[in-house]
Amino acid sequence: MGHPFPIREIARQAGLSEATVDRVLNGRGGVRESTVREVRQAIADLDRQRTQVRLVGRTFMIDIVMQTPERFSTAVRVALEAELPDLHPAVVRSRFHFRETAPVKELVATLDRIARRGSQGVILKAPDVPEITAAVGRLVTAGIPVVTLVTDLPASARLAYVGIDNRAAGATAAYLMGQWLGDRPGNVLTSLSSGFFRNEEEREMGFRSTMRARYPDRSLVEITEGHGLDATQYELVRAALKRDPDIRAVYSIGGGNIATLRAFADLGRECAVFVAHDLDHDNTRLLHEQRLSAVLHHDLRQDVREACRIVMRAHDALPPAGPALPSAIQVVTPYNMPMAAAR
């Protein structure tokens, strides 16, 4: 496990004691395999970040805690690490706590460990449930500011929310769907990863209310709890298509779009219009192949930069500023993809 980093830096990055890191690095016994993986991940994170930031001076260690499919957590990691060099005057380092799906108690345990261990801030994407709200309160009581990213926890003590106006995004999807379907018959499948994420709930509300107002004769069919994971999503979509032979369009709120399209193809069904969210690697490829009609995107680099700046302001490292405005909603088609995604 070769590396150029002091044990102290690895321990801080991993959130472990120096003694534990020393045991791992020197191959001593009495260490769980999960702890070994944490040390390896910390070294990998440091190796990526050392080419972008100086590991000296005033350092802000921020914990990124997210329950989300790997494709989106990867996009957030890449966006954040691309922004690190410009987050002056302070140096910002990041620890990542990502899981695709997990019981709420595991997320709460992660947040409580951070509260005990200490952190300069937490950027959080989590379900809007009372247990998470309470855990955010404990972080804030411990002096750790919390910023919600992409999906909000409005009843919590979080400092700010950074992301799009999700209700407006859903209304935009409904407008596009109605325009592109036109007078053609057919029902619309709406797909959520989970009903416990406020951003998805608000997108669905914006979509449903706008469809009802503008296109009252168009029926909507909802599936949920696929968690954006391909295997689960495939089965949910396939079952919905078998139940309803009139589904011919999709508004994907929660992801799993490759699996959704595979279910259509396996049943010999056409998806005439498909509106999705976020330019992750799956959706970028599907747009290139013109299998998605449009992706509602927001600049993740801008979002993570703003989230970090909010944390820095909480520690008086930057001048005060007004409340964060919603991120711009970009309607991306195969013909106007951002340069970074088009490559």
Average pLDDT over residues 196-215: 96
Tell me what pLDDT residue 261 has: 98
Distance CA 303, CA 254 (A): 19
In percent, how much of the chain has pLDDT > 70? 94
Range of 37-51, 74-88, 144-158 with top mean pLDDT: 144-158
Average pLDDT over residues 67-96: 86
Please report where in the chains the tokens 């449903």 appear, as a residue: 208
In percent, how much of the chain has pLDDT > 90? 68
Burial tier of 273 (Cβ tally within 10 Å: 0-12, 13-18, 19+): buried
pLDDT, one tens digit per residue, over 226-264 is 988 889 999 999 999 999 999 999 999 999 999 999 999
Distance CA 147, CA 134 (A): 15
Tell me what pLDDT residue 163 has: 96
Name 56's Cβ contacts closer than 8 Å, sequence gap at least 6: 91
89: preceding bond cis by omega (within 30 degrees) = yes
Residue 65: helix, strand or coil by DSSP?
strand
| pLDDT of 50 over the 80 cut | no
Residue 55: pLDDT band by 50, 70, 90 thresholds? very low
* Closest among 47, 41, 86, 85 to 64, alpha carbons compared: 41
Residue 102: pLDDT band by 50, 70, 90 thresholds? confident
| pLDDT of 340 over the 70 cut | no
Residue 338: pLDDT band by 50, 70, 90 thresholds? confident
Q: What angle do CA 29, 33, 35 make, to 5 degrees?
A: 90
Average pLDDT over residues 120-144: 97
What are the CA-CA distances from residue 290 to residues 4, 256, 269, 286 (Å)? 45, 16, 17, 6
- Whether residue 260 contacts residue 279, with contact meaning beta carbons closer than 8 Å, is answered with no
Burial tier of 10 (Cβ tally within 10 Å: 0-12, 13-18, 19+): buried
- Whether residue 171 contacts residue 207, with contact meaning beta carbons closer than 8 Å, is answered with yes
Residue 143: helix, strand or coil by DSSP?
coil
Average pLDDT over residues 63-88: 89
Q: How far is CA 60 from the centre of its chain?
A: 22
Name 208's Cβ contacts closer than 8 Å, sequence gap at least 6: 170, 174, 190, 220
- Average pLDDT value over all residues in the chain: 91
| pLDDT of 57 over the 80 cut | no
Residue 88: pLDDT band by 50, 70, 90 thresholds? low
Tell me what pLDDT residue 271 has: 97
Residue 204 is inside which H or E element, if any? helix 198-214
* Closest among 114, 161, 162, 110 to 141, alpha carbons compared: 114
* Closest among 182, 147, 70, 162 to 314, alpha carbons compared: 147
Average pLDDT over residues 91-116: 92
Tell me what pLDDT residue 300 has: 93
Tell me what pLDDT residue 341 has: 57
Tell me what pLDDT residue 45 has: 83
Distance CA 207, CA 188 (A): 11
| pLDDT of 179 over the 60 cut | yes
Tell me what pLDDT residue 2 has: 62
| pLDDT of 56 over the 70 cut | no
- Whether residue 93 contacts residue 61, with contact meaning beta carbons closer than 8 Å, is answered with yes
Please state whether beta strands 91-99 and 59-67 pair in parallel, antiparallel, or not at all (unpaired). parallel
Distance CA 296, CA 103 (A): 29
Tell me what pLDDT residue 26 has: 86
Tell me what pLDDT residue 54 has: 46
Residue 44: pLDDT band by 50, 70, 90 thresholds? confident
Tell me what pLDDT residue 58 has: 67
Residue 306: helix, strand or coil by DSSP?
helix
Tell me what pLDDT residue 89 has: 62
